[in-house]
Amino acid sequence: MSWGLLAVAGVVVALGGLLQGLIGFGLALVAVPLLALLDPALVPVPVLVVASAHAMMSLVREFGHVDWRGVGWAMLGRLPGTVVGIWIVDSLDPKSFGVVVGAAVLACVLLSVISWRPQPTPPSLVTAGVASGSFGTATSIGGPMVALLYQNQSGPQVRATLAAFFTLGSVVSIIGLSATGNVTAHQLWAGLALIPFLVAGFLLSGPLRKRFDAGGIRTPMLVVAGASAVVLIVRSALL
């Protein structure tokens, strides 16, 4: 990865880390379409690496607010969902994969802005876990499916519970991709190179998360993610 590409990708990751530090998810939603436009090799493994790092830091920061029961039910669905995600990665050519990534981002953006108010019940958590495992493994985007179930809960509980789920889920996805030969040393190093930028965004979210209205930054970032997804779909369709 060139220094110029690293700098641009780092800014994207920092913005995603800031957003996720404020509302509990959004790192991959912002980063995936933009990074896929910069270099398709940055998706999904490098994003999973930085997502794992962010989740671990968030979990340490707000560990006492985790809904472990909900995490358990969601992980029950995440495991079979991971298998589906691996199949997607193995089966699609670069053109189709770009379309899938773009479509997944658009779907998540739409789910993030609708007024649907589901509850974190065991059936809904398992279902969300399957969807999260599938898209999270294939495209690194697995947050909105579970986040929607907790949208009526307190900020600390949302952030902490999602952090615990992402910590476990990202590790499962990386292990699954590694076992099937879909992880390279280059991808892992690319993810590690982006972590300093991620830490910067995460640290910036610390003093802001209690006083800052997350909706003020969430809306423009969702717009950017959606627009990037459309560009990615169009570019992939023209390959």
| pLDDT tens digits along 12-65 | 999 999 989 988 888 998 999 999 999 989 999 999 999 999 999 999 999 999
When computed from its CA atoms, the radius of gyration of the chain, rounded to whole angstroms, is 16
Q: Which amino acid is at 174?
A: I
What's residue 73's pLDDT?
98
What is the chain's mean pLDDT, rounded?
89
CB 46 within 8 A of CB 35: yes
Taking 70 as the threshold, does the pLDDT of residue 214 lie above it? no
Please give the model's pTM, rounded to 2 decimal places: 0.89
Residues 6+ apart with CB under 8 A from 219: none
What's residue 148's pLDDT?
84
**Please, which pLDDT band fits residue 132 given cuts at 50, 70 and 90?**
very high
Domain ranges within the chain, ordered by starting residue: 3-238
The candidate with the shortest Cα–Cα distance to 47, out of 198, 236, 226, is: 198
Taking 60 as the threshold, does the pLDDT of residue 220 lie above it? yes
Is the pLDDT higher at 222 or at 41? Answer: 41
**Mean pLDDT, residues 180-192 taken together:** 95
